[in-house]
Amino acid sequence: MAVTPDDIARLAGLARLRLSEQECAELAPEIGVILESMRRVQEVAGDDVPLTTHAVPRTNVFRDDVVRPSLTPKEALSGAPASEDGRFRVPAILGED
């Protein structure tokens, strides 16, 4: 099934995107290629092919989250150029008060 520029315009409208007629015409064949590729993958991905998220097995590389002694708030702020109310004070960057 070929994707038409009208199909793209309808999908863009549903997604609340504003596309020109030229953009719809350019995207139609590109989306068609993507859909055809997905169709071909579905043909070979039968019930005997296990679902995967990665090409090779992966394991969690994060360590266990263990509570350990750390700096007190006073120690953490001791090297700060400025602090206020137990927090680092930094210059405003967005023009907010």
Q: How far apart are CA 64 and CA 54, in angstroms?
A: 23
For the chain, how many helices (H) and strands (E)? Answer: 3, 2
pLDDT by residue (tens digit) across 29-82?
999 999 999 888 888 877 887 777 888 888 888 888 899 999 999 999 999 999
Closest CA to 74 of 59, 66, 85, 63: 85
| Helix residue ranges per DSSP H, the chain | 5-14, 21-44, 73-77
**Architecture of the domain whose range is 5-44:** Orthogonal Bundle (1.10)
Q: Are 19 and 12 in contact (CB under 8 A)?
A: yes
Q: pLDDT band at 1, cuts 50/70/90?
A: low
Domain ranges of the chain: 5-44
